[in-house]
Structure 1
Amino acid sequence: MTTLLSRNRDYRLLWGGQVFSETGFSTSMIAFPLLVLAVTGSAAQSGLVLGAVAVAQLVAGLPAGALVDRWNRKRIMLVCEAVQALAAASLLAALWWGVASVLQLVAVAAVMGLCRALFEPAEEASLPRLVTVEQVPSAVAMNAARSNAGQLSGTALGGFLFALGRAIPFVFDVLTHVVAFFALLFVRLPVAVTERAPARHLGREILAGLRWVWHQPQVRVTALCAISLNLFFSAYYLVIIVLAATRGVPSGEIGVMAAMLGGGGILGALAAPYLHRRFSPYTLIIGVFWALTVLTPLAVFVRSGYLMGVLFAAMAFLPPAANTTISTYQLLLTPDGMRGRLGGVLGVAGGVAAAAGPALGGWLVDALPGTTAVLVCAGAITVVTLLATCHPVLRRFPRTLEPEPEFADRKGNPDG
């Protein structure tokens, strides 16, 4: 965390609380399928439970963004943490009494997905009011590092805790959300005037958010580029996992390989503030595309899970810097009363790509030999790269953006 950002008490509280919350969430996401398998022995029902999280986030994404622009954002985040703790506690009670069912697991997972759909745009929309203008890029990058670290640690911890006892991961999850709740209580978050505006028709507010995103060229084009890249890389990731397994790579090496992808993302997020200052937005954005274009075909020649992990880490290093540049621009460009809907729209778009990518990868694995499937994904990424490289909107992407008047009183104040 940069020096200025480390002196921002309120951001430290929010960031530290969410380290716990995201680790607990990832722990539960690993424990859910393990618990379903232990209770029912059905892999299909395990997928149903995890799918409930993704479906809830997607279905609630657009309405949640509009509600974030209506309601007090700190209150939304507090309620989300409290509800997640209560949901996990209800599962603990069911396990204690021996009455846990797949239906309850699906319900708990859906509640957690709904809370994530509300919390994420609320936190993102609050960021420019919590930190100074100069701190926004560092805050965006540190949030990305936190998410990667929480996912990595939670994934590793979930399996270990489940081995100690079926209920232990969910005890841990309850405790993490309680810690995050109390950290949030002490965060001083200024309330925008727009958050107190009279509520209008929810559907019209959602459409207004969609129209606003579509009519901002930089937002629209970068979103479409990110969706395309995420779609084909998610497919590529699944193809690589299957290819590694068919080549006889031990499961332990495959786990390390996947972890190194997250590790590369963490290192990239830590380097992102420096790269954001050092390079132009166009260079950073196009650099991500060309790095993936060059690196993805190399998997055809890699037989070691560890070497593939190094390749994954290299692929994951640059995206956080490009995301920092794009997210900073979007947050400073977007009026406060529209930021929740911006987060909701982009979250749903990214969620669709994340869901469709593995499905595409599975189809490619079934239809084509492994190396051919890799090259198809790499070829699709190359096409997207060429289109992005020549796109005039990306070539003119501004390096800086004058903040809106709402930021004037926050400029240069490290205490927010």
Structure 2
Amino acid sequence: MSDVAAKKDSLARNRDYTLLWSGQALAEAGFGATLFVLPLLALALTGSPGVSGLVLSVDAAAQLLVGLPAGALVDRWNRKRIMLACEAAQVVALASLVFVLWTDTASVVHLVAVAAVLGAARALFEPAEDASLPRIVPEHQLATAVAMNTARSSLGQMGGSALGGLLYSLGRALPFLFDLVTHCVAFVALAFLRLPPREKPETAEKTHLVREIGEGLRWVWSRPEIRVTTLCAVVLNLFFSAYYLVVIVLATGRGVPSTETGVMASMLGVGGVVGALIAPRLHRVLGPYRSIAIVFWVATALTPVALLIDDGYLMGVLFAGMTLLVPTANTTIGTHQLLLTPDELRGRLSGVLAVAVGTAGAVGPVLGGLLTELLDPVPAVVVCTVGIALVTAYVTVSPTLRHYPEKGQQ
């Protein structure tokens, strides 16, 4: 393709994708600010770290509880209206929080309610957006769109956390006001989105929601490539989440300053952003199997290196290296799954995967905490390394992944 033709065919020239991406980039930054500040606000109101953690966990719990029915509802209802309703719900919740902070009437119950609304709204919005993506961008640009959405999320979390801390230092209500404004902008952008009609007309047919959820679960389990990649991703996410906490404990025990620990955490995001920007090219160059397997190979090779490092900045480089290639695997897997799955099941696909991976991400820190309680940090790192190595060995020899995707399934 010539340079002129490539520019004309650029994803940036897709009006509807640009509207969606830009609006959600702002909303991601706003959400990142709120997620960073919300536990700090709870701590300031109550002085209890336990209550602070509770408020933060409510958001994650809401996403997990709503995830499966959300996917079914996304396949049942108008997806653009779902996204608009989710943005509106977040605007109302955030406006109420800004109001009680300005009037000095905020309570823990209110914070918990706001966190629940934000979590439930995200659980509905994300499968609606994922399922709509193949109808907004052409098939040959879908991998790039998936990668750019990953970059958007990483940038939003990094920038939002930094901005949230700054705004919170200037006034308790300011981070939530910023988040409120970003969701208002995102709502307006969505209002102008032209989402093509679905292939199958939406009907008012009454079916049992549980049955529809079961259909989504059966679809995920019946497709070998979806089933295998999901199980492998869950195991990797579980042990890496545990490993992250164990390494933080290890670094603290070795006298790494808190400032360097913060850099370690932020480098995860840096690796994700850089990886997302190079993911479309690596996706094409490496091919499906190597795009997926290389993440596991690199993780297995790098996890024990933490035992040899005492410097927080070098540990941050290690974390960045471990997350650098994750977006490439996500791009390969996500693109194929969207193209493979019928439109009427895409919402449920996204819901099932979000719950599976999210559960592993929630259980992982608990596993890491147990390992550091029962073992010293060094053997705990070894346990995590062995867990990652075992799933890597399976990925390496799996016939399903070695022939991913099969011809005729694309």
TM over 0.5: yes
Q: For 2:137, give the aligned amino acid.
A: V
What is the aligned partner in structure 1 of residue 24 from structure 2?
18
Compared CA separation, residues 182 and 40, structure 1 to 2 (3 A): same
Q: Residues 269 and 320 of structure 1 are in contact (CA less than 8 Å); yes or no, is this contact kept in structure 2?
A: yes
Listed as ranges, the matches of 1:382-397 within 5 Å are 382-397=389-404
Unpaired runs of at least 5, structure 2: 1-6
Matched position secondary structure for 2:405: coil
Q: Residues 72 and 347 of structure 2 are in contact (CA less than 8 Å); yes or no, is this contact kept in structure 1?
A: yes
Compared CA separation, residues 202 and 148, structure 1 to 2 (3 A): same
Listed as ranges, the matches of 1:282-321 within 5 Å are 282-321=289-328
Q: For 1:98, give the aligned amino acid.
A: D
Query: Aligned partners of 1:21, 1:255: CA distance in 2, in Å?
Result: 24
Q: Residues 69 and 195 of structure 1 are in contact (CA less than 8 Å); yes or no, is this contact kept in structure 2?
A: no
User: Quick check: 1:185 aligned with 2:205?
Assistant: no
Compared CA separation, residues 400 and 9, structure 1 to 2 (3 A): farther
What is the aligned partner in structure 2 of residue 280 from structure 1?
287
Q: Residues 53 and 109 of structure 1 are in contact (CA less than 8 Å); yes or no, is this contact kept in structure 2?
A: yes
Query: Aligned partners of 1:29, 1:320: CA distance in 2, in Å?
Result: 22
User: Quick check: 1:211 aligned with 2:211?
Assistant: no
Compared CA separation, residues 68 and 164, structure 1 to 2 (3 A): same
User: Quick check: 1:356 aligned with 2:324?
Assistant: no
Listed as ranges, the matches of 1:134-213 within 5 Å are 134-194=140-200, 196-197=202-203, 198-213=205-220
Q: Choose which of 114, 120, 126 in structure 2 pairs with 1:114.
A: 120
Matched position secondary structure for 2:106: coil
Query: Aligned partners of 1:207, 1:130: CA distance in 2, in Å?
Result: 27
What is the aligned partner in structure 1 of residue 275 from structure 2?
268
What is the aligned partner in structure 1 of residue 93 from structure 2?
87
What is the aligned partner in structure 1 of residue 4 from structure 2?
none
Compared CA separation, residues 401 and 33, structure 1 to 2 (3 A): farther
Q: Choose which of 49, 52, 61 in structure 2 pairs with 1:55.
A: 61
What is the deviation of 1:195?
5.6
Matched position secondary structure for 1:196: coil
What is the deviation of 1:213?
0.7
State the Cα deviation string for residues 121-171 of structure 1 (Å, max 9, x = none): 000000000000011000000000000000111111111111111111111
What is the aligned partner in structure 1 of residue 74 from structure 2?
68
Q: For 1:343, give the aligned amino acid.
A: S
Q: Choose which of 342, 345, 370 in structure 2 pairs with 1:338.
A: 345
Query: Aligned partners of 1:152, 1:242: CA distance in 2, in Å?
Result: 22
Matched position secondary structure for 2:35: helix
Compared CA separation, residues 136 and 209, structure 1 to 2 (3 A): same
Query: Aligned partners of 2:261, 2:182: CA distance in 1, in Å?
Result: 28
What is the deviation of 1:194?
3.2
Q: For 1:169, give the aligned amino acid.
A: P
Query: Aligned partners of 1:400, 1:4: CA distance in 2, in Å?
Result: 27
Unpaired runs of at least 5, structure 1: 404-416
Query: Aligned partners of 2:216, 2:201: CA distance in 1, in Å?
Result: 15
Query: Aligned partners of 2:234, 2:394: CA distance in 1, in Å?
Result: 14
Per mean C-alpha deviation after superposition, the further-off stretch among 188-197 and 303-312 is 188-197
Q: Residues 65 and 345 of structure 1 are in contact (CA less than 8 Å); yes or no, is this contact kept in structure 2?
A: yes
Q: Residues 332 and 401 of structure 1 are in contact (CA less than 8 Å); yes or no, is this contact kept in structure 2?
A: no
What is the aligned partner in structure 2 of residue 127 from structure 1?
133
What is the aligned partner in structure 1 of residue 35 from structure 2?
29
Q: Choose which of 251, 258, 268 in structure 1 pairs with 2:265.
A: 258
What is the deviation of 1:206?
0.4
What is the deviation of 1:400?
6.7
Matched position secondary structure for 1:44: helix
What is the deviation of 1:193?
4.0
Query: Aligned partners of 1:399, 1:313: CA distance in 2, in Å?
Result: 32
Matched position secondary structure for 1:314: helix
State the Cα deviation string for residues 297-353 of structure 1 (Å, max 9, x = none): 000011111001111111111111011000000000000000000000001001110
Per mean C-alpha deviation after superposition, the further-off stretch among 186-195 and 55-64 is 186-195
Matched position secondary structure for 2:172: coil
Compared CA separation, residues 29 and 388, structure 1 to 2 (3 A): same
Compared CA separation, residues 221 and 337, structure 1 to 2 (3 A): same
TM score, norm. by length of structure 2: 0.96
